[in-house]
Amino acid sequence: MKLITLAIRNIKRSFSKYAMYFFALSFSVFTVYSFLALMYNDQVMAKFTYSDRYRAMLISFGVVIFVFVAFFLISSNNSFIRARKKEISTYSLFGMTNRKIGWLLFVETMIVGSAALVVGLAVGIFASKLIAMILLNLTLTHFVGDVEFSTAPKVVYLTVVPFLLVFGVIGLTGRWVIGRFELIDLFKANKMPETRFKGSILLLLFSLMLMGTGYYLAAWRDPLLLMMLALPILVLVIVGTFLFFRGGLPKILSWLQNRRSYYRGDNLIAVSTFNHRLKSISGLMAAIAVLSAVAVTVIASGYTLYATVEKSTYDAVGYDLYFYTNDEQVLHDVRAAFAEHDVAVIMEHTTYRYQARPRTDMFVAAEWEFGTPDTYYRIYPQSEFNQLLRAARERYPQADVGKGEAVLAVRTGNNELLEKEWVGRKLDFSNSSLTVTACMDLDITDFGAYYTVVVNDSDFTALMENGDIITTDSGKSPFDRVTVVKYENPLGSHDLNRRLNQVLAGRVSSYRLAYNHYIDALENFGLVCFIGFFMSIVFILMTASLLYFKQIMAAQEERHLYQTLRKIGIRPQQEARVITKRLLPVFFIPLLLGFLHSIFAMKSADTMVFSGMLAVENSYLIVLKFSAAMYLGYGLVYGIFYLITRRQYINIVS
């Protein structure tokens, strides 16, 4: 009974000090509960588990969260006990047995843990409906209506039991930890600064080399190779990061200490103090760098995907709708569908899929082969080609081809290279030849072929008469014609699109609906986006609160330092500068390194995903633009934590 009274008194007394610890515990409970609640929500599951890919994604996300929560609990508990060394040693000095102290710690942990469980669960139950709504709304454009959300007792149970176990284990390890304390160490603990890392030039170079190699590999331009290298790159960069904080940063600091500017008062204080903290914090800083990199990369990818869905849809499909058929009835039904749903058709155009096989030399341009025996081209008269371009969603410049000339359209991503090879070459038809004068980087007019040739209308007629252009296959049956349709609000008219799918499916040899592509992509990317945001919030809150925690502990030990400085006569502004210089690196070196990692990770993501999706010359620039927005957001939230910490630190030391 007496033990419990003591425990409660301790908690009460130090509540303000350890509010952040409590907050952190509650937040882990909240995170785990919310995630489990999502996993056990029927609507969410129905939506995402029909595909194994999504299920795997959700599960790996779950694993990441659990690992992270465990890491978080362990390290915050360690700091917590360390911070109480003095108090514990006092009990010990006055004759309390280790066993009893162990019990005291256990009781305290259980009390605080249970309180955190209750708070975390309460917030989780309250917020999980909101979270599910956000997830479904992000991923399903046409999601309307309410999410059913009953609190499943099973989820509560699944959250409570593991946490009680974890708290119990943590409480018991306290006994083990204090068993290793020596009384003398305990009393020195507050007085004696942590021993410094000297750092080593070798470690510094080695860590830079590891990270550099990782970066170099990540910037590789071959997607397949990158896929294989993903794991080695991760290992290189992560190991490099840890070594950098363990041995490299201390070395850099000791270089700074040898510079003259080090002896300017505030540098002297801030650098030497930071240096002494480095040992206890280098692991955490490295972890933060890595975690921030992961989180920021995931949100940046998710956001880029999400923000470019529309563009990538049209880069892939080209038109709102196109289908291959010679069946007039289908065409009629399609028109009826538009009328029925009262959606205005902006443009409809039907064209033959003309085919020609002009001869050229054999050569390769921009990684495409030309002049092989089976090379054939889609060929259009200029007027028809321009009609198609107008029917496309994106605005393309109209083609203007002179007599005797030809324009070549191939999707290469590098039009200059193509033009360099092609311009001036001749396409030899049976009794005429046309000179290629320009190339275009597009593939929406190919309809099954690799290349498109655009010629002058009169040349086209001549070629047609000559038999150079065919519209039937070898068995003399005509190719299906293509119909392209451009209509109002193509991505928003859910009912119409559903109807179009019904009309077309199975009746035409092929059709593509921008809407289908768009919805697919949104579901996919919405999930990535959601996971990214959720993970970032978890990572930011936990890492930042760990940092906060450590800095507050440090502040208690550093109080004395500022008192002495004030006695010597440091000015208030100078003191503020010292505090800034002391805290800023702790927070922002890992963050900046994380961003750097992420910039290279986004390069890989660009090579593997985005460059194939976005039809622009340099998709990496677009990717970076969207990533920068996310970096900024992440940095801002992180910065708020910095400010909170700084404020609390100042409160403690002054």
- The first and second tokens of residue 551, run together, are 């800095």
Widest pairwise Cα distance in the chain: 110
Backbone angles phi, psi at 233, to 5 degrees: -60, -45
Distance between CA 150 and CA 343 in Å, rounded?
40
Distance between CA 329 and CA 323 in Å, rounded?
13
Distance between CA 234 and CA 139 in Å, rounded?
29
Piece of the chain touching another protein by CB under 8 A; list 266-274, 325-333, 463-471, 514-522: 266-274
- The first and second tokens of residue 610, run together, are 């985005």
329 binds another protein (CB under 8 A): no
# of chain residues touching another protein (CB under 8 A)? 29
Please, are residues 631 and 595 in contact by the beta-carbon 8 Å criterion? yes
C-beta closer to another protein: residue 129 or 566: 566
Piece of the chain touching another protein by CB under 8 A; list 206-214, 260-268, 376-384, 641-649: 260-268
Least spacing, CB of residue 557 vs another protein, in Å = 9
263 binds another protein (CB under 8 A): yes
- The first and second tokens of residue 126, run together, are 């309250």
Least spacing, CB of residue 553 vs another protein, in Å = 15
* Binding residue for another protein, selected from 81, 160, 268, 609, defined by CB under 8 A: 268
269 binds another protein (CB under 8 A): yes
Piece of the chain touching another protein by CB under 8 A; list 119-127, 130-138, 189-197, 515-523: 189-197
Piece of the chain touching another protein by CB under 8 A; list 5-13, 263-271, 396-404, 425-433: 263-271
567 binds another protein (CB under 8 A): yes
Strands 433-440, 405-409: pairing is: parallel
* Binding residue for another protein, selected from 9, 332, 335, 571, defined by CB under 8 A: 571
* Binding residue for another protein, selected from 564, 618, 651, 654, defined by CB under 8 A: 564
403 binds another protein (CB under 8 A): no
Please, are residues 197 and 246 in contact by the beta-carbon 8 Å criterion? yes
Piece of the chain touching another protein by CB under 8 A; list 152-160, 213-221, 270-278, 508-516: 270-278
193 binds another protein (CB under 8 A): yes
Piece of the chain touching another protein by CB under 8 A; list 69-77, 139-147, 258-266, 426-434: 258-266
- The first and second tokens of residue 111, run together, are 């009390």
273 binds another protein (CB under 8 A): yes
* Separation in Å, CA 282 to CA 37, 79, 244, 475, 550: 35, 14, 9, 74, 11
Least spacing, CB of residue 76 vs another protein, in Å = 24
Least spacing, CB of residue 193 vs another protein, in Å = 5
C-beta closer to another protein: residue 94 or 263: 263
* Separation in Å, CA 72 to CA 166, 212, 444, 610: 12, 29, 51, 34
551 binds another protein (CB under 8 A): no
The DSSP secondary-structure symbol of 478 reads: B
The DSSP secondary-structure symbol of 447 reads: T
DSSP-assigned letters across all residues of 204-267: HHHHHHHHHHHHHHHT-S-HHHHHHHHHHHHHHHHHHHHHIIIIIHHHHHHHHHHSGGGGSHHH
272 binds another protein (CB under 8 A): yes
Piece of the chain touching another protein by CB under 8 A; list 71-79, 264-272, 381-389, 407-415: 264-272
Selection from 45, 51, 108 nearest residue 77 by Cα: 108
184 binds another protein (CB under 8 A): no
Piece of the chain touching another protein by CB under 8 A; list 2-10, 31-39, 415-423, 555-563: 555-563
Residues ≥6 apart with Cβ < 8 Å to 192: none
Residue type, 566: R
DSSP-derived 3-state class of residue 372? coil
Restricted to residues 276-305, the positions that interact with another protein (CB under 8 A) are 276
Least spacing, CB of residue 93 vs another protein, in Å = 21
Residues ≥6 apart with Cβ < 8 Å to 391: 319, 347, 348, 349, 484, 485, 486
570 binds another protein (CB under 8 A): yes
* Binding residue for another protein, selected from 28, 76, 275, 604, defined by CB under 8 A: 275
Q: Where are the alpha helices (DSSP H) in 140-200?
A: 153-180, 183-191
C-beta closer to another protein: residue 510 or 564: 564
| Look-up of token digits 């908690």 | 11
Least spacing, CB of residue 191 vs another protein, in Å = 7
C-beta closer to another protein: residue 302 or 585: 585
C-beta closer to another protein: residue 262 or 376: 262
CA dihedral 408, 411, 412, 414 (to 10 degrees): 70
* Binding residue for another protein, selected from 92, 437, 501, 574, defined by CB under 8 A: 574
C-beta closer to another protein: residue 305 or 565: 565
Piece of the chain touching another protein by CB under 8 A; list 60-68, 149-157, 483-491, 566-574: 566-574
C-beta closer to another protein: residue 2 or 260: 260
Q: What is the 3-state secondary structure (H, E, C) of 263-317?
A: HCHHHHHHHHHHHHHHHHHHHHHHHHHHHHHHHHHHHHHHHHHHHCHHHHHHHHH
Selection from 397, 386, 385, 455 nearest residue 426 by Cα: 455
DSSP-derived 3-state class of residue 153? helix
556 binds another protein (CB under 8 A): no
256 binds another protein (CB under 8 A): no
Least spacing, CB of residue 558 vs another protein, in Å = 8
C-beta closer to another protein: residue 180 or 567: 567
* Binding residue for another protein, selected from 5, 329, 372, 573, defined by CB under 8 A: 573
C-beta closer to another protein: residue 268 or 628: 268
Least spacing, CB of residue 81 vs another protein, in Å = 22
Least spacing, CB of residue 188 vs another protein, in Å = 8
* Binding residue for another protein, selected from 264, 335, 403, 647, defined by CB under 8 A: 264
- The first and second tokens of residue 43, run together, are 């609507």
* Separation in Å, CA 163 to CA 120, 131, 153: 11, 22, 15
Binding mask 441-480 for another protein (x = CB under 8 A): ----------------------------------------
Restricted to residues 625-644, the positions that interact with another protein (CB under 8 A) are none
Q: Does an H or E element contain 587, and which?
A: helix 572-605
| Look-up of token digits 């371009």 | 389
182 binds another protein (CB under 8 A): no
Binding site for another protein (CB under 8 A): 188, 191-193, 260, 263-266, 268-269, 272-273, 275-276, 560-561, 563-574
